[in-house]
Structure 1
Amino acid sequence: MINKLRGKLPPEFLKEEVFSRLPLPSKDERVILGPAIGEDAAIIKLGDELLAVHSDPVTGGGKLAGWLSVYVASNDIATRGVRPLWLLPVFLFREGADESEILGLVDQVGEAAGRIGATVIGGHTEVTPKLGFNIVVTTAMGVGKRVLRTGDARKGDLIVMTKECALEGTAILSSELSERLTSEGLSREVLRRASRFIEEISVLEESMIAASFNGVHSMHDPTEGGILGGVQEMAFASGLGFRVYEDRIPIREETREVCRALSLDPLRLISSGSLLIAVERSKAEELVSAIERAGVRASIIGELIDRREGMIVLRRDGREEDASDPVLDELWRILGDQPAREGAAPDPKD
C-alpha cells in the first residue's frame, strides 16, 4: 500500500496515477523527452542545442545533504552526456537550525559546485516551521549537441559499472550512525575512510568518456535502490530484462564492514558515485580500458536480455534471485529504525 511506502513511488503507480494527473508536454515539439520511468533528466530543444534539466531532493543525507544535493542532481545531467553548468539549490532548514549548521550546508554546496565547474544561478532559502531535518533540493542544467537516454539500451548490451557499489550509502551511514557502528566493532579509522567516500560521488569524468565512446547506448545513475535498483530502472526504461552477477560487482572493504554490522545488502544501498553504462558487447572491454586509463575503476557486471527472460541477480552462492519488484533502499530501512534526533536524516514515514 502507498501509505506504507518509503522512498520512490512504484513505477506502475507513477505511470497510472501520477503522470495521468499532470499536463505532460505531448504537443510541445521543443520537449524531446519529458517525464518517463528511469529517465534521469528532461531534454528540451533550444535552437541548435539541447538543454538537459533535472531536479532531485536529498532527504536522507543528514549532515552531508549539501554535498549530495549537488552531486546527485549533476550526475543525472552527466548521464545524458552533458556537462552540468548551472545549479538552483533550494535549502529547507529545520526549525532551530543555528548559523553554523546553515552555513555548513551552504559551504558544502559551494565546494561541490566548484569541483564540477558549475555555478549557482538561483534558488531559495528558508527555515521551515515544524521541519525536523534539513532538506536540500537542487535543479541542475547543462547544454549539448547530442544526448543519451536511459531507455536506449539494447538487448545484448553489456552493463559496465564504474567505481564500487554503495559509496553514497556507506558515506551517509558512517556519518549518521557512527556511534552504533563503533559499538558494533568498527574502528574510528574505518569510519573516517568511509565518510570520505562523499568526495567520490561525482560521475562527471567517466560520463564524459562514455558519452564520446562509439557503442555506448545508455547511461544511468544508480541512486535510491542501489546498483540493483539502477539496473532495474535502465532495463525498465528500455523494455528489457537483465542478468547481473553479484561476484562481479566490486565492493570496498569499508562498505562490507558497514553492511555486515547493520545487516544490509550492499546491492540495494544507495549508490551515487557509480555509473551504469549499456554498451555494445564488442566494445565493452575497450570502454573499460578507456575509463580505467582516466584512473576510474570499471567492471562488466552483467547483460541486458529479453524482458521475457526476467530480471535476475545471480548471487555468490549460486542462487538466482528475481529482481523484478521495486527495490526498497536499505538506507530507508535502517534510518527508519533509528530514534529521531535534531538535524538527522528523517524516518521516511514522517
Structure 2
Amino acid sequence: MASTSRVISKEKRNRNSTGDIEPKNAHSVNVRLCKSLFCNSKSYCKNNDCNDNYNNGFKEVCERIEYKSSEYKKGERKEKGVRISGETLGLDLECFARVLYRKKVSGEIVIRELCRFIDEERGKAIYQEIKNSEKIEDRFERYVSTYTPSNITAEISGLGCRGEGDFFIHRLIAAISCGDEKAELKLNVELDSRTQDDAGAVLIPRGRYDNKYDEDRDEKNRDNEKRDENKGYVVAAVDGMHSRLSSFPFLAGFHAARAALRDIMVKGARPIAFISDIHLANNGDVCKVFDYSAGIATVGELSNVPIVSGSTLRIGGDLVLGDRLTGCVGAIGYARRLLPRSATSVGDVLIMTEGSGGGTISTTAIFYGKKGIVKETLNLDFIKSANVILDMLEEKGFEKYAKMIHSMTDVTNGGIRGDAFELSEVSGCAIVLYEDKIRNAINKKVLKMLIELGIDPLGVSIDSLLLCVDKRIVDKISEAFEEKGVRYEIVGRVEDKY
C-alpha cells in the first residue's frame, strides 16, 4: 500500500544530494496534514468553510505542534526534516473521512485528503462507503444502525480509569446487560455485573449435565455418596490488555491472562481454560500477535491452564493505519462454592497478600523510565496465594471453618480505595483500612516508585489478594500462608455502616 508523507516549511525548501527535503525552519510541520487532522478544532473553519486556505486561527494550532529535527551534532546547523505518514500517526481513515463528511466538506476535498495516505481508488471507495452509511433510508435499519449521542466522551466520563465515573458506567452497563431478575433466576445466574464482582457465575443444577459415567455407576456407591443439591458453578471473567502496552505485547498478554485467572479464582473457582481475542491495526507487525499469545501461554503453562479458543482481527480492517494492538483474555473455571463480595460481614478482618502490580505498574515503570520494576511484576504470586485458600476450602475436616471465609477479591479496580468502595456498596458495611499495613503489603521497589512519582499507593492496582474473613479463622489462614511463604498483612476490618 502506497502512502505519502510531506514536510512543508514556511521557508523555501531545499533538497540535498540524496533528494531528501531539508526545511530551513527547525519547527516545520505538515501544515496541510495538521489542517485535516484538526478539522474539528474551534480555531479551524469557524464558518464551516473548509475550502478556505489556512486561516490564522488554524495556523496557530499547527505552530503549537513542533516536529523538531533530531540529532544534529554540536557545531552542525544542518537539520533533517521529519517525515509524517498515516502509519506514523495511527490514523483512522474511516473516522477521518466521516468527520469531514459530517462537516459538509465537499467530496472532492475529502478524497483529496484521504489520498495523502492511500491511493485515489481507495480514497474514492472510502468516501462512497461513508456517504452510503450516513444515508440509510430504511427506517428499521437506521434505528438498529445508529445510536443517540450523549456528548460525553470516554475521557470526560473517566471510562477505564477505575474511579467513580467508571464505576457509574459499570452500573449502567449492568442495568442493560443483566435484564429482568426473574429471567436471570430461570437461567441459574448467581453472579453478574450487578453484584460488582470480579467474575460472573452460573449454577449447574443437579442432573442437568450428568454424564454416562454417572448413570452407570454402581447404585450402592451412588446412594452412599453425599451429594449437594447442585453440581457447582461455571465461573467466567474477561480482562482487556492494558491500553498502553500495545508496543509491549508479551507483557500485555501475560498481565491480561493473569488478571483473568485472578478474577475467577477470587470467586472460589479452579481455572479450567483460557480464551483469547487479539486485534491488530493494519500496519502492525504480526509478531505482536505471537508475542501477545506467548504471554498468555506462559501464564497458562505455569498454572496448568490451556488456551482452548481465540480470535484474531484487524482493528477497523484496512481503514485504521498504524500498529496499535488491543485484545482481551477470558478465563473459565469451576467452583463448588462461591465467595461473592456481598458476603462480606460486620466483624470481618481484612487480610491482604503482597502485591507487585501488573499491567498498570509495568506501564508506569516503562514510561517513567524506572528500571527493574517490570521484572517485579512478572510472577504468579497471586495465583499461589489464591491456591492456598482454595486448598483450605477443599481440605477434609475444614468444612466447619470454610464458611468463615466470606469473600475474596483482588486489589485492582482503582486500588484498595476502589475495592473498599465497591465492597461497602454491595455488602452494606463500612470498610476501615490501616494505611501503614497496606503500604507494608506492597512490593518495596514498587512502593518506592509510586512514592517518588507522587502516585497514591492506595489508589492504584497492585494485584494483591484481599480476604474478608471471620476473625476466628485468621490464625489458620496465617499459618497456611506462612507455610507456603506468602507475605501478608492484616490491613483492615469491617464495621456496621450506620
Question: Normalising to structure 2: TM-score of the pair?
Answer: 0.55
Paired residues of 1:166 and 1:226 also in contact (CA < 8 A): no
Map 1:124-143; keep pairs closer than 5 Å.
124-129=311-316, 130=320, 133-143=324-334
Q: CA 1:37–1:134 in structure 2 vs 1: closer, same or farther (change >3 Å)? A: farther
Contact 1:43/1:53, CA 8 A, preserved across alignment: yes
Which residue identity does 2:288 align to in structure 1? E
Check conservation: 1:78, 1:203, Cα contact below 8 A.
no
Q: Secondary structure at the match of 1:39?
A: coil
Q: Which residue of 1 aligns with 2:190?
A: 32
1:54-133 equivalent positions in 2, closer than 5 A: 54-60=237-243, 62=245, 63=248, 64-129=251-316, 130=320, 133=324
Matches within 5 A, 1:222-237: 222-237=411-426
Q: Where does residue 301 of structure 1 map in the other structure?
A: 491
In structure 2, give the amino acid aligned to 1:21.
I
Q: Tell me, in whole angstroms, the C-alpha distance in 2 between the residues paired with 1:236 and 1:23.
A: 18
The answer to whether residue 368 in structure 2 is matched with residue 177 in structure 1 is: yes
Secondary structure in structure 2 of the residue aligned to 1:147: coil
In the alignment, the residues of structure 1 paired with residue 152 and residue 487 of structure 2 have an alpha-carbon distance, to the nearest angstrom, of: 38
1:79-135 CA-partner distances (Å, limit 9, x unpaired): 011111111110112342213322211111111111111111112112213376322
Asked whether 1:156 is paired with 2:317, we answer: no
Distance across 2 between alignment mates of 1:127 and 1:29: 34
Look up the equivalent residue of 1:265 and give its one-letter code. Answer: D
What's the % identity of the aligned pairs?
A: 20
Contact 2:255 2:358 in 1 (8 A): no
Which residue number corresponds to residue 289 of structure 1?
479
Corresponding position: 1:51 with 2:234: yes
Partner of 1:199: 378
Which of 238, 252, 255 does residue 427 from structure 2 map onto?
238
Distance (whole Å) between structure 2 residues aligned to residue 102 and residue 19 of structure 1: 31
Opposite residue 236 of structure 1, the aligned amino acid is E
The answer to whether the aligner puts 1:210 opposite 2:389 as a matched pair is: yes
Aligned residues, how many? 294
Larger-Rg structure: 2
Does structure 1 retain, via aligned residues, the 8 Å contact 2:239–2:256? yes
Matched AA of 1:267: L
Moved runs in structure 1, 4+ residues, more than 6 A?
none
Paired residue type of 1:295: G
SS in 1 for 2:324: coil
Kindly tell me: are residues 136 and 12 of structure 1, through their superposed partners in 2, closer, same or farther at Cα, counting changes over 3 Å? closer
CA distance in 1, matches of 2:356, 2:196: 19
Tell me, in whole angstroms, the C-alpha distance in 2 between the residues paired with 1:204 and 1:256: 21
CA-to-partner distance for each residue in 1:196-239, whole Å, 9 max, x for gaps?
A: 12322552222232243522110001213112222322222212
Q: 5+ unaligned residues in a row in structure 1: which ranges?
A: 182-190, 309-350
- 1:280 maps to which residue? 470
User: Kindly tell me: are residues 123 and 306 of structure 1, through their superposed partners in 2, closer, same or farther at Cα, counting changes over 3 Å?
Assistant: same
- RMSD (Å) for aligned C-alpha atoms: 2.3
Aligned amino acid, residue 86 of structure 1: A
8 Å contact 2:288–2:325 — kept in the other structure?
Answer: no
